[in-house]
Structure 1
Amino acid sequence: MSQLRLWGHWPLFLFLSGWCAVAIFLDYLYAGIPGRKYFLLLSGLSALLLGLSFPPFGFTPLIFFGFVPLFYIQEIADRNKTSELFYVYNAFVLWNIFDTYWVANAALLPGIVAIWLNSFFMLVPWIGAQWVGRKIPSLRWWSFASFWVVFEWIHHNWEISWPWLTLGNAWSSLTSWIQWYEYTGVFGGTLWTLIMNILFFQFILNLKKQLSIRKNSRTITLILCFLIFPVLISILIDRNFLAEGKYGEICVVQPNYEPHYEKFAVPEMEQITRLGRLAEINLTKDTRFILFPETCIGDIGGPVNSARVQDDNRIITFYDFIESHFNIPIVMGLTTIKFLRDGELDSPFKRTNQAFKEPYEIANSAVILKNRLEKNIPVYNKSRLVPGAEIFPYRRLLPFLSPLVDKLGGTVAGLATQKERTVFEAGNLVIAPVICYESIYGNYMRGYIKNGAQAIFIMTNDGWWDDTPGYKQHMAFSKLRAIEFRKPVIRSANTGISCFIDARGNLGKSLGYNVHSSINQGVTFSPYLSFYAKFGDLLAYLALLFATFFVILRLFRYFF
């Protein structure tokens, strides 16, 4: 891996110092307003509790208290009839900086946009809760819980999607507590977190009112119930779960090319040679698949024609390797090109270039290679794209943002996507070919499982973020997909963490950052369909129903 120096953790210090200077200055302007003496410290404490609860820090139970300082700020602000909004926004900005500063290692401007825009989005459910609370104070924080879950659900489904800090993701560091994600999905963890914050805040208020233990017993009982029962249920589910299905070994390769300076500069045939050499280390006659990472080929030597994959010289080299190594199928990522025909010219992903006579699309794709006699090689196009870098969000509504998209390193056309999730099959084993960013979307990945996937193969390139928490978080979130669908997850990273994760979310063999090697492990290819795989984000729909009720009730109180 290239040893040229990257920014590493420097964006953390840059963003923190810059924002703290702004926050302290604004706090100074508010100094004479009653009740604000400790607001800045309380908002900072909230950010610290939320930040430390996420991977890789692993202090997950702290998230039960993450919003309590903000609730307390609101309580004081109500008493003194002052505004608390800046301090809530300050907490969200500091939290976003603390856990996602590493995005700036891919590109500085996207890092800035992601942090401050996402913090603003987080403010929306808070504002909604204060609007409800002005007329119905007793429902303020319960409406906040509903609004927040709805916000996270929207953040998973719109084009400006960046759901990295979904509260339920924090529990990826403590999977033994959330085995019930196979029923609720990640929003179950979010709702649990918010309920515990509300109950702990109520407990603190009762203490301030100097209520006796007996008068506070209801709140204490609720806290104990909501803390103990979910954990006990998780333990029971874990003890009774048995993975059933066909057993097969998989070889995972991590070639370890630094993406900023090396991955797209080293000749592709040299990279292909390294992939083969590393795979050979751990191949056996019992190996059922070889998994290579995202975009193995198609950038330096030009994209692979998706209509004639088998004719590409680089693909032929892979077929040569397959035939000399037990005919083991290869699953790999690559960049593809599709030339558009007459009926396809209205494609939203259409591009033109003097180098090509025909309009075309570019995609970040995955293929499975089995034998050179194949004529119709299945190709899957990554369809959950990174806003800015891979997709121009709401292009028709926001055409004036085209220059910003260019600065983010993306294109106005964006990468081509597809509506359905494609699965790959070899020897009666069916796998989900998941590409990078897609792996943080549980409901999206249901499409693979409902199409018959028995295992989840993730191809990624996490070296963009340098040796920071980014790639560790990305791997940790994969554990949640394993639990939600009760499928093994197998990750191949160009660099980052290549690993095996079982259906309980337990980490198996793995390769660390800045290591080029391969690993081999057996997994159970399971046809089991979990409750979440069948029904998806029911909790989000329930939260939407409650949020609608709170809005209607608030409007009723206003008019009547």
Structure 2
Amino acid sequence: MIWPFSPDIVVQRLFVRLKFRSSPSSPPRPWGPVVGAVASGLLLSAAFPKFDGFPLAWIALVPLLGVLPQASPAGAFRLGFLAGLVHFTTSLYWIVHVVQHYGGLPLPVALSALGLLCAYLALYPAVFSWLARHWLDRPSGWAWGLAPAWVCLEWIRAHLLTGFPWNLLGYSQGPFLTLIQMADMTGVYGVSWLLVQTNVAVALLLRTSKVRPLLIASLCIAISLGYGSWRLQQVDSPPHAGDGFRVGLVQGNIDQSVKWDPAYQKKTLDTYERLSRGLVRQDRPDLVVWPETAAPFFYQIEAGPTARLHQIVENLGTPLLVGIPGIVRTDGTAKLQNQALLLEPSRGLTGRYSKRHLVPFGEYVPLKKVLFFVEKLVAAAGDFQPGGGPAALLLGRHVLGVLICYEAIFPELAREEVRNGATMLVNITNDAWFDHSSAPYQHKEMARWRAVEFRVPMVRCANTGISAVFAPSGKTVASLPLGRRGTVSALVYPARTPTLYARLGDLFAWICVLTTAASAIYGALRKRTRK
């Protein structure tokens, strides 16, 4: 007797239904393609924090790919655009709160800002869908061309117009530690490739009953998991005695609305000093870290607060890495800089890093002559000046590579720091702008990947959270939750050997770019030959 709901029966019935719907003789359902596109957009968003449904990323594109045969190439572009619009709107919704609450913009203007950004980002899945529709009659093009095309488009998004690599598909798998170990060779793009390859294989199985693409995708997953298990054992092996370095994080949880109020300046420094004293007394760290712009004054410009900051370091008797705004002169004009200072007892200032990748419309206005009407969303109004390059900070026999705010989502910046000698990465940030939305969780998960890619500890100190320390395997060693004032410390072990990704960078992504270009040229020549 066969169980009526056995997997074989279910798959056979599903094949019959899908083939019937996509056959030329069956009338198309007008809302079917739209539902498929919307479903993919929602599934993509659900794979990221704070929804945390990361297994959904393995099938998120299947509904979209499944409805593309019913559409023309132009229709496929529109469906991909719709899927992208739904995805980015539901995962970047927090931008409305930022520009309305802290930028002081009316709600319609804030919604328009979100809409424009999401419309731009939606162009990338739209192009992906357009390519998928053009390659519909080439199963090999689908099986081997679509995953590289997705990675190619992600790489372009990460670099075009200063780049915005927020929530690249591979980032959804941060909790899947065994899988993401491959990032020390391919970066996040390798995991994105694997996810899309699996989605395409499932879609092909449902559309054509071809099992081979899914078997190949399964083999790739098995190889990745095998490599990940091996690397986890290596990276998590007990380090040499004496190599440990204890770092302490101070999460002040200062409300953004009062952070730059002069009346709260002394209170803010009092808060950080009190927390730091308790941290040093209890855990005796080798380094204390305060978050981005934790000190709400201009270093060496405001003499009183500057002197007090140095006195705090002397009283602690422990080196301090602190985020603080600074002033530099460029062509005789004073410019703001977002800086991190390394201060040591009895030595004073021993290292300085200035943020290099500024936030568009936050720390500067791109195309200022055209967009002269755009107001910046920073508390200290004015154009920020980017730093000149990596500035690894020497602390004893350890070297700190600093990333400020969303610099942590750009692996090329972390790579420059590591190649410049950094044995650990420190990300100081102020995520108070985002309140309790999903943005702090997304930001924290992306920072985790820098530890895996370069096999260095990643120390992340945030004003309101989420502060965390990641081991070179990506494991969370210590953390402080969002919206809590407190301290935490952890013993970290600096880098041992450089990774393949540190040596070669985005070679895998470049291979995907070249593969996509070759596939597009081959498809165009094939179409021309047929004509």
What is the TM-score of this pair, normalised by structure 2? 0.85
Tell me the alpha carbon deviations over residues 47-85 of structure 1, each in whole angstroms, 9 at most, x when there is no partner.
22211111232222211111111111111225xx88233
Matched, 1:386 2:389: no
Tell me the alpha carbon deviations over residues 128-162 of structure 1, each in whole angstroms, 9 at most, x when there is no partner.
444x5278575256433223212211222233422
Matched, 1:399 2:369: yes
Matched, 1:58 2:52: yes
- Matched residues in 1 for 2:179 and 2:284: separation? 35
- Matched residues in 1 for 2:202 and 2:498: separation? 36
Q: What SS does structure 1 have at the residue aligned with 2:295? A: coil
- Matched residues in 2 for 1:204 and 1:558: separation? 26
Q: For the Cα contact (< 8 Å) 1:244–1:526, is it kept in 2?
A: no
Q: For the Cα contact (< 8 Å) 2:260–2:379, is it kept in 1?
A: no
Q: Which residue of 2 aligns with 1:116?
A: 119
Pick the aligned partner of 1:461 from 407, 430, 435: 430
The CA deviation at 1:559 is: 4.5
Q: For the Cα contact (< 8 Å) 1:181–1:484, is it kept in 2?
A: yes
Tell me the alpha carbon deviations over residues 224-259 of structure 1, each in whole angstroms, 9 at most, x when there is no partner.
313322222211211222374621111110110111
Q: What SS does structure 2 have at the residue aligned with 1:484? A: helix
- Matched residues in 2 for 1:183 and 1:233: separation? 11
Q: For the Cα contact (< 8 Å) 1:125–1:148, is it kept in 2?
A: yes
- Matched residues in 2 for 1:82 and 1:274: separation? 58
Pick the aligned partner of 1:287 from 250, 265, 285: 285
- Matched residues in 2 for 1:237 and 1:419: separation? 35
Question: Could you tell which deviates more after superposition, 34-43 or 460-469?
Answer: 34-43
Q: Tell me, which stretches of 5 or more residues in structure 2 are unaligned?
A: 1-26, 101-109
Q: Which amino acid aligns with 1:380?
A: Y
Q: Which residue of 1 aligns with 2:308?
A: 317
Matched, 1:331 2:304: no
- Matched residues in 2 for 1:556 and 1:466: separation? 52
Q: Which residue of 2 aligns with 1:23?
A: none
The CA deviation at 1:415 is: 2.0
Matched, 1:38 2:32: yes
The CA deviation at 1:270 is: 1.9
Of structures 1 and 2, the one scoring higher in RCO (CA 8 A, sep 6+) is: 1
What is the TM-score of this pair, normalised by structure 1? 0.81
Q: For the Cα contact (< 8 Å) 1:368–1:377, is it kept in 2?
A: yes
Q: For the Cα contact (< 8 Å) 1:196–1:226, is it kept in 2?
A: no
Q: For the Cα contact (< 8 Å) 2:69–2:136, is it kept in 1?
A: no
Q: 1:104 to 1:225 in 2, by over 3 A?
A: same
- Matched residues in 2 for 1:175 and 1:231: separation? 9
Q: For the Cα contact (< 8 Å) 1:392–1:413, is it kept in 2?
A: no
- Matched residues in 1 for 2:146 and 2:213: separation? 19
Q: 1:118 to 1:408 in 2, by over 3 A?
A: farther
Identity of aligned residues (%): 23
Matched, 1:67 2:61: yes
Q: For the Cα contact (< 8 Å) 1:256–1:516, is it kept in 2?
A: yes
Q: Which amino acid aligns with 2:84?
A: F
Pick the aligned partner of 2:299 from 298, 301, 304: 304
Q: Which residue of 1 aligns with 2:178?
A: 176
- Matched residues in 1 for 2:92 and 2:85: separation? 10
Question: Could you tell which deviates more after superposition, 409-418 or 420-429?
Answer: 409-418
- Matched residues in 1 for 2:511 and 2:345: separation? 48
- Matched residues in 2 for 1:273 and 1:410: separation? 21
Q: 1:412 to 1:367 in 2, by over 3 A?
A: closer
- Matched residues in 1 for 2:406 and 2:74: separation? 41
Q: Which amino acid aligns with 2:299?
A: V
Q: What SS does structure 2 have at the residue aligned with 1:249? A: strand
Q: For the Cα contact (< 8 Å) 1:68–1:198, is it kept in 2?
A: yes
Quote the RMSD (CA, aligned, Å): 2.6
Matched, 1:369 2:339: no
Q: For the Cα contact (< 8 Å) 2:414–2:425, is it kept in 1?
A: no
Tell me the alpha carbon deviations over residues 342-387 of structure 1, each in whole angstroms, 9 at most, x when there is no partner.
xxx3xxxxxxxxxxxx41221111111114545x743211112222
- Matched residues in 2 for 1:126 and 1:220: separation? 20
Q: Which residue of 2 aligns with 1:206?
A: 208
Matched, 1:247 2:220: no
The CA deviation at 1:35 is: 4.0
- Matched residues in 2 for 1:223 and 1:522: separation? 38
- Matched residues in 2 for 1:134 and 1:499: separation? 45
Q: 1:122 to 1:365 in 2, by over 3 A?
A: farther
- Matched residues in 1 for 2:125 and 2:402: separation? 32
- Matched residues in 1 for 2:136 and 2:42: separation? 28
Pick the aligned partner of 1:359 from 321, 325, 333: 333
Pick the aligned partner of 2:451 from 477, 482, 501: 482
Q: For the Cα contact (< 8 Å) 2:409–2:446, is it kept in 1?
A: yes
Q: 1:408 to 1:513 in 2, by over 3 A?
A: closer
Question: Could you tell which deviates more after superposition, 51-60 or 243-252?
Answer: 243-252
- Matched residues in 1 for 2:469 and 2:214: separation? 40
The CA deviation at 1:402 is: 2.5
Q: What SS does structure 2 have at the residue aligned with 1:158? A: helix
- Matched residues in 2 for 1:541 and 1:412: separation? 39
Matched, 1:426 2:395: yes
Pick the aligned partner of 1:159 from 151, 161, 165: 161
Q: What SS does structure 2 have at the residue aligned with 1:168? A: helix
Q: For the Cα contact (< 8 Å) 1:135–1:554, is it kept in 2?
A: no
Q: What SS does structure 2 have at the residue aligned with 1:72? A: helix
Q: Which amino acid aligns with 2:252?
A: P
The CA deviation at 1:389 is: 1.6
- Matched residues in 2 for 1:384 and 1:167: separation? 22
Aligned counterparts, 1:520-559, within 5 A: 520-559=489-528
Q: Tell me, which stretches of 5 or more residues in structure 1 are unaligned?
A: 1-32, 208-215, 346-357
Q: What SS does structure 1 have at the residue aligned with 2:390? A: coil
Q: Which amino acid aligns with 1:105?
A: H
- Matched residues in 1 for 2:78 and 2:405: separation? 35
Q: What SS does structure 1 have at the residue aligned with 2:501? A: helix
The CA deviation at 1:175 is: 1.9
Matched, 1:89 2:63: no
Pick the aligned partner of 2:254 from 250, 257, 274: 257
Aligned residue pairs total: 487
Pick the aligned partner of 1:417 from 386, 392, 410: 386
- Matched residues in 2 for 1:243 and 1:93: separation? 46
Aligned counterparts, 1:122-137, within 5 A: 122-130=125-133, 132-133=134-135
Q: Which residue of 2 aligns with 1:185?
A: 187
Q: Which residue of 2 aligns with 1:494?
A: 463
